[in-house]
Amino acid sequence: MWQLNPAAIGPDPLSQIGSRVIPNEPMYMLLNLGISSTFGAVDLKKLGLPVKMRVDWVRVYQPVGTPINTNCSPSNYPTSQYIEDHLAAYMNPNLTTWEQYQKAHGDNTGNPKTGFPKNKLLDTC
């Protein structure tokens, strides 16, 4: 069983790591094998791929009294129109940075210094 406890996202003064903020924006869970050499050596010859991962159940909690929302574009965090307006950035596997997207599509909606989409904390949008 895997779960995320409050201690995992709280501050750690010893390591000088601040609190990890959980965003309010819509999110999704991705359940996969997550094989990566980032966390250790992977011997692909001995893995016997393809393999199956079986998930018995997933339980998701939300605060009592909050409305159930199962879409990715609620009224307080609309994302569908943004994705539709920048669809190539999400569908073209050859575009791996916002700068590439902007050059390919003449889109100047991002931050001119970083190329990233603007946000209300760093930009005036």
Q: What is the pTM of this model?
A: 0.46
**Number of structural domains the chain divides into:** 1
Q: Give the domain extent around 111.
A: 75-115
* Residue pLDDT, tens place only, 39-95: 788 888 888 888 888 999 988 887 788 887 777 788 877 888 888 888 888 899 998
Does residue 88 contact residue 96 with C-beta atoms inside 8 Å?
A: no
DSSP state, residue 15: T
Q: CA dist 45 to 34, 39, 50, 70, 84, Å?
A: 17, 18, 11, 40, 41
Q: Is the pLDDT of residue 8 over 60?
A: yes
In a domain? residue 68: no
In a domain? residue 110: yes
Best CA proximity match to 62, nearest among 80, 46, 74: 74
Report the C-alpha gap between 26 and 72 in whole angstroms: 6
